[in-house]
Amino acid sequence: MSGIGWHIFAFGAIAIFLIVIVYRTIAISRLPVHLRWELAPIPHEKGKARYGGSYLEEYEWWRKRQSRSFMAPVLYMAAEILLLRGVWKHNRALWPLSFAFHAGIYLIALMLLFSLVSALLIITEVPSGVVDVFLAIASVLAAAGYLLGGLGAVGLILKRALDTNLRSFNTVSKYFNLVFLVALFITGAYAWFASTDFASTMSLFIKGLVTLDGGVTLALPLSVHIVISLLFLIYLPMTDMIHFVAKYFTYHEIRWNDEPKNEKMIEELNGLLDQPVSWSAIHVKADGKKNWVDLTTKKMSDDEKA
Protein backbone atom coordinates (compact mmCIF):
# COMPACT_ATOMS: atom_id res chain seq x y z
CA MET A 1 0.00 0.00 0.00
CA SER A 2 1.32 3.45 -0.90
CA GLY A 3 1.84 6.25 1.60
CA ILE A 4 -1.32 8.12 0.63
CA GLY A 5 -3.24 4.84 0.78
CA TRP A 6 -2.20 4.33 4.39
CA HIS A 7 -3.34 7.85 5.27
CA ILE A 8 -6.76 7.39 3.68
CA PHE A 9 -7.27 3.96 5.22
CA ALA A 10 -6.03 4.82 8.72
CA PHE A 11 -7.77 8.18 9.10
CA GLY A 12 -10.91 6.82 7.44
CA ALA A 13 -11.07 3.87 9.89
CA ILE A 14 -10.52 6.17 12.89
CA ALA A 15 -13.21 8.57 11.64
CA ILE A 16 -15.76 5.76 11.12
CA PHE A 17 -14.96 4.36 14.57
CA LEU A 18 -15.46 7.73 16.30
CA ILE A 19 -18.62 8.63 14.37
CA VAL A 20 -20.33 5.30 15.08
CA ILE A 21 -19.23 5.31 18.74
CA VAL A 22 -20.61 8.82 19.26
CA TYR A 23 -23.85 7.97 17.41
CA ARG A 24 -24.47 4.78 19.39
CA THR A 25 -23.55 6.41 22.70
CA ILE A 26 -26.07 9.19 22.08
CA ALA A 27 -28.67 6.61 21.00
CA ILE A 28 -28.14 4.64 24.23
CA SER A 29 -28.36 7.78 26.36
CA ARG A 30 -31.71 8.64 24.75
CA LEU A 31 -33.34 5.28 25.39
CA PRO A 32 -36.48 5.30 27.58
CA VAL A 33 -36.12 5.26 31.36
CA HIS A 34 -35.03 1.82 32.45
CA LEU A 35 -36.45 -0.08 35.38
CA ARG A 36 -34.03 0.97 38.10
CA TRP A 37 -32.55 -1.69 40.33
CA GLU A 38 -31.64 0.48 43.32
CA LEU A 39 -29.86 -2.47 44.89
CA ALA A 40 -27.76 -1.61 47.92
CA PRO A 41 -24.92 -1.20 48.44
CA ILE A 42 -24.44 1.64 45.99
CA PRO A 43 -20.79 2.80 46.00
CA HIS A 44 -21.56 6.51 45.96
CA GLU A 45 -23.40 6.25 49.31
CA LYS A 46 -20.84 8.00 51.48
CA GLY A 47 -20.37 6.22 54.80
CA LYS A 48 -23.14 3.70 54.11
CA ALA A 49 -21.95 1.60 51.15
CA ARG A 50 -19.72 -0.56 53.38
CA TYR A 51 -22.74 -2.11 55.09
CA GLY A 52 -25.31 -1.77 52.30
CA GLY A 53 -27.06 1.28 53.70
CA SER A 54 -28.93 4.03 51.89
CA TYR A 55 -29.92 7.64 52.42
CA LEU A 56 -33.51 6.34 52.59
CA GLU A 57 -32.82 5.04 56.10
CA GLU A 58 -32.33 8.60 57.35
CA TYR A 59 -35.19 10.26 59.21
CA GLU A 60 -36.90 12.75 56.86
CA TRP A 61 -34.25 12.04 54.21
CA TRP A 62 -36.02 14.32 51.73
CA ARG A 63 -35.09 17.34 53.85
CA LYS A 64 -31.40 16.47 53.92
CA ARG A 65 -28.72 16.97 51.33
CA GLN A 66 -27.24 13.71 50.07
CA SER A 67 -23.56 13.14 50.69
CA ARG A 68 -21.97 11.25 47.81
CA SER A 69 -18.53 9.75 47.32
CA PHE A 70 -16.76 10.47 44.03
CA MET A 71 -13.84 8.05 44.39
CA ALA A 72 -15.79 4.97 45.52
CA PRO A 73 -17.63 4.51 42.17
CA VAL A 74 -14.39 5.21 40.29
CA LEU A 75 -12.52 2.52 42.23
CA TYR A 76 -15.42 0.09 41.83
CA MET A 77 -15.50 0.60 38.05
CA ALA A 78 -11.71 0.33 37.84
CA ALA A 79 -11.85 -3.08 39.52
CA GLU A 80 -14.71 -4.12 37.23
CA ILE A 81 -12.98 -2.97 34.03
CA LEU A 82 -9.37 -3.90 34.77
CA LEU A 83 -9.81 -6.98 36.97
CA LEU A 84 -13.24 -8.22 35.75
CA ARG A 85 -14.61 -8.37 39.27
CA GLY A 86 -18.05 -9.49 38.03
CA VAL A 87 -16.64 -12.47 36.11
CA TRP A 88 -14.49 -13.45 39.09
CA LYS A 89 -17.52 -13.35 41.38
CA HIS A 90 -20.10 -15.07 39.18
CA ASN A 91 -18.11 -17.34 36.83
CA ARG A 92 -14.66 -17.96 38.26
CA ALA A 93 -13.91 -20.81 35.85
CA LEU A 94 -14.19 -18.38 32.95
CA TRP A 95 -12.15 -15.63 34.62
CA PRO A 96 -8.56 -16.68 33.67
CA LEU A 97 -9.33 -16.77 29.93
CA SER A 98 -11.50 -13.67 30.00
CA PHE A 99 -8.90 -11.78 32.03
CA ALA A 100 -6.08 -12.77 29.65
CA PHE A 101 -8.21 -11.73 26.68
CA HIS A 102 -9.11 -8.31 28.09
CA ALA A 103 -5.62 -7.74 29.51
CA GLY A 104 -4.24 -8.31 26.01
CA ILE A 105 -6.55 -5.64 24.60
CA TYR A 106 -5.62 -3.16 27.35
CA LEU A 107 -1.88 -3.78 26.88
CA ILE A 108 -2.13 -3.26 23.12
CA ALA A 109 -4.02 -0.02 23.69
CA LEU A 110 -1.24 1.10 26.04
CA MET A 111 1.36 0.05 23.44
CA LEU A 112 -0.33 2.28 20.87
CA LEU A 113 -0.35 5.16 23.35
CA PHE A 114 3.37 4.76 24.04
CA SER A 115 4.03 4.45 20.30
CA LEU A 116 2.12 7.68 19.68
CA VAL A 117 4.06 9.47 22.42
CA SER A 118 7.31 8.12 20.94
CA ALA A 119 6.29 9.41 17.50
CA LEU A 120 5.56 12.86 18.92
CA LEU A 121 8.89 12.87 20.76
CA ILE A 122 10.69 12.00 17.52
CA ILE A 123 8.86 14.81 15.70
CA THR A 124 9.80 17.33 18.41
CA GLU A 125 13.41 16.06 18.32
CA VAL A 126 13.57 15.04 21.98
CA PRO A 127 16.90 13.33 22.90
CA SER A 128 17.01 9.75 21.63
CA GLY A 129 17.60 8.38 25.13
CA VAL A 130 14.12 9.50 26.21
CA VAL A 131 12.54 8.08 23.05
CA ASP A 132 14.32 4.75 23.58
CA VAL A 133 12.71 4.38 27.02
CA PHE A 134 9.21 4.79 25.55
CA LEU A 135 10.04 2.43 22.69
CA ALA A 136 11.32 -0.23 25.10
CA ILE A 137 8.12 -0.03 27.15
CA ALA A 138 6.00 -0.15 23.99
CA SER A 139 7.86 -3.26 22.80
CA VAL A 140 7.27 -5.12 26.07
CA LEU A 141 3.59 -4.08 26.13
CA ALA A 142 3.15 -5.29 22.54
CA ALA A 143 4.69 -8.72 23.15
CA ALA A 144 2.70 -9.25 26.37
CA GLY A 145 -0.52 -7.94 24.84
CA TYR A 146 -0.42 -10.08 21.70
CA LEU A 147 0.50 -13.26 23.57
CA LEU A 148 -1.99 -12.80 26.42
CA GLY A 149 -4.77 -11.68 24.11
CA GLY A 150 -4.19 -14.53 21.67
CA LEU A 151 -4.12 -17.10 24.46
CA GLY A 152 -7.33 -15.69 25.95
CA ALA A 153 -9.18 -15.48 22.62
CA VAL A 154 -8.27 -19.03 21.55
CA GLY A 155 -9.14 -20.29 25.02
CA LEU A 156 -12.54 -18.58 24.93
CA ILE A 157 -13.34 -20.17 21.56
CA LEU A 158 -12.53 -23.62 22.94
CA LYS A 159 -14.39 -22.87 26.18
CA ARG A 160 -17.52 -21.86 24.27
CA ALA A 161 -17.31 -24.94 22.04
CA LEU A 162 -16.68 -27.48 24.81
CA ASP A 163 -18.52 -26.11 27.84
CA THR A 164 -22.15 -27.30 27.73
CA ASN A 165 -23.17 -24.46 30.08
CA LEU A 166 -22.11 -21.89 27.47
CA ARG A 167 -23.47 -23.50 24.32
CA SER A 168 -26.91 -21.92 24.65
CA PHE A 169 -25.23 -18.49 24.56
CA ASN A 170 -23.17 -19.22 21.44
CA THR A 171 -23.95 -17.48 18.16
CA VAL A 172 -22.14 -17.18 14.85
CA SER A 173 -21.36 -13.53 15.61
CA LYS A 174 -19.76 -14.44 18.97
CA TYR A 175 -17.42 -16.91 17.28
CA PHE A 176 -16.71 -14.49 14.44
CA ASN A 177 -15.75 -11.73 16.90
CA LEU A 178 -13.31 -14.04 18.67
CA VAL A 179 -11.81 -15.38 15.44
CA PHE A 180 -11.37 -11.80 14.19
CA LEU A 181 -9.51 -10.94 17.40
CA VAL A 182 -7.41 -14.11 17.20
CA ALA A 183 -6.30 -12.97 13.73
CA LEU A 184 -5.42 -9.55 15.15
CA PHE A 185 -3.40 -11.00 18.04
CA ILE A 186 -1.62 -13.65 15.96
CA THR A 187 -0.62 -11.28 13.15
CA GLY A 188 0.56 -8.79 15.77
CA ALA A 189 2.68 -11.42 17.51
CA TYR A 190 4.12 -12.57 14.18
CA ALA A 191 4.93 -8.98 13.18
CA TRP A 192 6.66 -8.47 16.54
CA PHE A 193 8.83 -11.58 16.16
CA ALA A 194 9.51 -10.94 12.46
CA SER A 195 10.61 -7.34 13.01
CA THR A 196 14.07 -6.38 14.20
CA ASP A 197 12.54 -3.45 16.13
CA PHE A 198 8.75 -3.63 16.22
CA ALA A 199 8.20 -0.63 18.51
CA SER A 200 10.45 1.67 16.49
CA THR A 201 8.80 0.64 13.21
CA MET A 202 5.34 1.21 14.67
CA SER A 203 6.32 4.64 16.02
CA LEU A 204 7.82 5.68 12.68
CA PHE A 205 4.63 4.54 10.96
CA ILE A 206 2.52 6.67 13.32
CA LYS A 207 4.97 9.56 12.80
CA GLY A 208 4.42 9.24 9.05
CA LEU A 209 0.66 9.40 9.53
CA VAL A 210 0.83 12.41 11.86
CA THR A 211 3.18 14.35 9.58
CA LEU A 212 1.29 13.29 6.43
CA ASP A 213 4.46 11.74 5.03
CA GLY A 214 3.64 10.27 1.61
CA GLY A 215 6.59 7.88 1.78
CA VAL A 216 5.20 5.60 4.50
CA THR A 217 6.13 1.96 3.81
CA LEU A 218 5.91 -1.19 5.92
CA ALA A 219 7.12 -4.77 5.76
CA LEU A 220 4.46 -7.34 4.85
CA PRO A 221 3.91 -8.85 8.36
CA LEU A 222 3.26 -5.46 9.98
CA SER A 223 1.19 -4.31 6.98
CA VAL A 224 -1.11 -7.32 7.33
CA HIS A 225 -1.45 -6.72 11.07
CA ILE A 226 -2.28 -3.03 10.69
CA VAL A 227 -4.84 -3.74 7.94
CA ILE A 228 -6.59 -6.30 10.17
CA SER A 229 -6.41 -3.91 13.13
CA LEU A 230 -7.98 -1.03 11.17
CA LEU A 231 -10.71 -3.31 9.77
CA PHE A 232 -11.48 -4.41 13.33
CA LEU A 233 -11.58 -0.76 14.43
CA ILE A 234 -14.29 -0.15 11.82
CA TYR A 235 -16.17 -3.30 12.79
CA LEU A 236 -16.00 -2.91 16.59
CA PRO A 237 -18.58 -0.13 17.23
CA MET A 238 -21.17 -1.87 15.05
CA THR A 239 -21.29 -4.95 17.30
CA ASP A 240 -22.33 -5.86 20.84
CA MET A 241 -18.68 -5.41 21.81
CA ILE A 242 -19.70 -1.81 22.40
CA HIS A 243 -20.57 -3.01 25.90
CA PHE A 244 -17.55 -1.01 27.04
CA VAL A 245 -19.76 2.06 26.46
CA ALA A 246 -23.08 0.50 27.48
CA LYS A 247 -21.62 -0.65 30.81
CA TYR A 248 -21.41 2.97 31.97
CA PHE A 249 -25.17 3.37 31.55
CA THR A 250 -25.83 -0.07 33.07
CA TYR A 251 -24.15 0.98 36.28
CA HIS A 252 -24.90 4.69 36.55
CA GLU A 253 -28.42 4.77 35.11
CA ILE A 254 -29.75 1.38 36.23
CA ARG A 255 -27.82 -0.21 39.07
CA TRP A 256 -26.77 2.95 40.91
CA ASN A 257 -29.45 5.47 39.97
CA ASP A 258 -31.19 6.24 43.27
CA GLU A 259 -32.18 9.83 42.52
CA PRO A 260 -35.59 10.73 43.99
CA LYS A 261 -38.36 11.12 41.42
CA ASN A 262 -38.43 14.69 40.11
CA GLU A 263 -40.56 16.68 37.67
CA LYS A 264 -38.38 15.82 34.68
CA MET A 265 -38.59 12.08 35.41
CA ILE A 266 -42.38 12.26 35.96
CA GLU A 267 -42.81 14.04 32.64
CA GLU A 268 -40.69 11.44 30.86
CA LEU A 269 -42.56 8.53 32.47
CA ASN A 270 -45.93 10.05 31.61
CA GLY A 271 -44.79 10.38 28.01
CA LEU A 272 -43.89 6.69 27.94
CA LEU A 273 -47.26 5.73 29.41
CA ASP A 274 -48.94 7.52 26.49
CA GLN A 275 -47.19 5.33 23.94
CA PRO A 276 -49.47 2.86 22.07
CA VAL A 277 -48.91 -0.80 22.88
CA SER A 278 -48.64 -3.34 20.06
CA TRP A 279 -47.58 -6.50 21.90
CA SER A 280 -49.00 -9.63 20.32
CA ALA A 281 -49.45 -11.52 23.61
CA ILE A 282 -53.13 -12.47 24.00
CA HIS A 283 -53.34 -11.58 27.71
CA VAL A 284 -52.18 -8.00 27.01
CA LYS A 285 -55.04 -7.37 24.57
CA ALA A 286 -53.11 -4.64 22.78
CA ASP A 287 -54.31 -3.38 19.42
CA GLY A 288 -51.63 -0.81 18.66
CA LYS A 289 -54.04 2.03 19.55
CA LYS A 290 -54.52 1.71 23.32
CA ASN A 291 -51.68 3.05 25.45
CA TRP A 292 -50.32 1.71 28.74
CA VAL A 293 -52.76 3.76 30.80
CA ASP A 294 -55.73 2.36 28.85
CA LEU A 295 -54.55 -1.22 29.27
CA THR A 296 -53.70 -1.02 32.97
CA THR A 297 -56.92 0.85 33.77
CA LYS A 298 -58.97 -1.81 31.98
CA LYS A 299 -57.04 -4.58 33.76
CA MET A 300 -57.77 -3.03 37.16
CA SER A 301 -61.44 -2.62 36.23
CA ASP A 302 -61.67 -6.27 35.13
CA ASP A 303 -60.01 -7.42 38.35
CA GLU A 304 -62.48 -5.45 40.46
CA LYS A 305 -65.45 -7.00 38.62
CA ALA A 306 -64.00 -10.46 39.14
Q: Report mean pLDDT in 10-residue bins for the chain, 306 residues.
A: 85 97 93 74 82 84 84 90 92 94 97 96 92 96 97 96 87 95 97 94 94 87 96 95 88 84 83 84 81 74 54
Distance between CA atoms of residues 27 and 106, nearest Å:
26
pLDDT of residue 66: 80
Is residue 225 within 8 A of residue 188, CB to CB? The reply is yes
Identify the pLDDT of residue 153. 97
What pTM, to 2 d.p., does this model score? 0.85
Burial class (CB in 10 A: 0-12, 13-18, 19+), 47: exposed
Nearest C-alpha neighbor of 249 from the set 21, 18, 29: 29
- Given this model, what pLDDT does residue 108 score? 97
**H or E segment and range at residue 270:** helix 263-273
Q: Rounded to an integer, what distance in angstroms lies between the CA atom of residue 270 and that of residue 265?
A: 9
CATH number of 3-37+87-239: 1.20.950.20
Q: What pLDDT, on a 0 to 100 scale, did the predictor assign at position 34?
A: 77
What's the pLDDT score for residue 38? 64
Domain boundaries, the chain: 3-37+87-239, 264-305
Provide DSSP, 66-121.
--B-SHHHHHHHHHHHHH-HHHHHH-TTTHHHHHHHHHHHHHHHHHHHHHHHHHHH
